[in-house]
Structure 1
């Protein structure tokens, strides 16, 4: 039964990696077309693709699933270096899956669609003609069921509350430190709704993003504990925290 589950997980990770490869191919084409257009909205892209939280989330997703697939394949090996890699990646997953990847995923999905439905023009709706509905859903919608599938298929260690909040805080602070200098100094905001905010709104928005990230971390930390119990804290996670 364990072998069958491992093969199923490997197939799932392989399918996700294949899906994201296709997404990257079409996304690159769409980005090129956007850069070549003369739309005023393209100034949003002057800060680079990493100006967008969606890109941060995609990077986290794709690195995670690519390394997961590599780990799945190396599990069949008895090579000492391969075993070390598997143990190393386990420690990475134990640290960052619940406090970083889960909040990033659901913040991307919930925030994008909430603002899109309320005021599409504040969420770069004009650019959908370049990307198309399926590509838009690939990076803003499908990410949620994909990561939920991972959540139920595999067990992840949960760091201590303090370390979990630290990793979540680092994620949000890093994004803020990247975006706000471009916005306030160069006037290049990643999203139109950030352009119409005043200083007070930005302060409230910035802090609300931390609160939302903490919310998703708490929700999925609790869900992980309820679903897997003590199995959600394997010895690898415990030993890794002791070394921090």
Structure 2
């Protein structure tokens, strides 16, 4: 019973935070970054991730109701297959967002969360977006039976998502002459490309770590029954 409640709570909290952000948070962006959908939030990986986490937790809750949480179901329903495939993307992305945000924040918060943004976002919203996403998805990892999809599906989901976002920030830069994240503006082109390539590598490493951890935990969960 605890797991469905966690899924429901996380789905509601993430969805409410998306709504609250659109309804109540007013942010002044750099000139050129003020004419994009969803009050310019579509610019940020944090918001892409939060929307993904809300969708994942909603599907996980639906799977609790009409699917199955068995360790290795012989004929898993479609909702379970979708849930497990989506987890393989949601896990590394949530962990990446938390690590990247708080890592850069620790070095120099002006590079990732300038003072005018920090003042605009209530602390609880900031932590839902950048902290709790990792907490919830790790609770899921340690408590749920996850059957990762094939390597092709897993890697396709991750690279389509990551490459789509990278192409998007280059499109925005081409349109506005402004980088979505200030840290990119402080780098020259070789360092910038290295930073972006390094981010892709980190995402893949987190994916491998997630798959490895899930494999080890699956053995422990089955053995403990």
Same fold by TM-score greater than 0.5? yes
Structure 1 position 107 matched with structure 2 position 99: no
Equivalent residue, structure 1, for 2:177: 187
- The answer to which of 109-118 and 10-19 deviates more is 10-19
Equivalent residue, structure 2, for 1:11: 5
**Where does the alignment leave 5 or more consecutive residues of structure 2 unmatched?**
69-75
**Where does the alignment leave 5 or more consecutive residues of structure 1 unmatched?**
1-6, 77-85, 233-244
CA contact (8 A) 2:84 2:148 kept: yes
The CA RMSD measured in Å over matched residues stands at 2.4
Counting only pairs closer than 5 Å after superposition, residues 81-96 of structure 1 correspond to structure 2 as 87-96=77-86
Match of 2:47 among 43, 55, 59: 55
- Counterpart CA distance in 2 for 1:163 and 1:75 is 21
Equivalent residue, structure 1, for 2:87: 97
CA contact (8 A) 2:7 2:60 kept: yes
Q: Which has the higher helix share?
A: 1
Structure 1 position 24 matched with structure 2 position 21: no
- Report the TM-score, using the length of structure 1 for normalisation: 0.78
Classify the secondary structure of the residue corresponding to 1:68.
Answer: helix
Equivalent residue, structure 2, for 1:235: none
- Counterpart CA distance in 1 for 2:78 and 2:180 is 35
- Report the TM-score, using the length of structure 2 for normalisation: 0.84
Q: How many residues are aligned here?
A: 211
- The answer to which of 198-207 and 179-188 deviates more is 179-188
Deviations 1:109-168 (A, max 9, x none): 000011111111111322111112111111001111111111122111113334433322
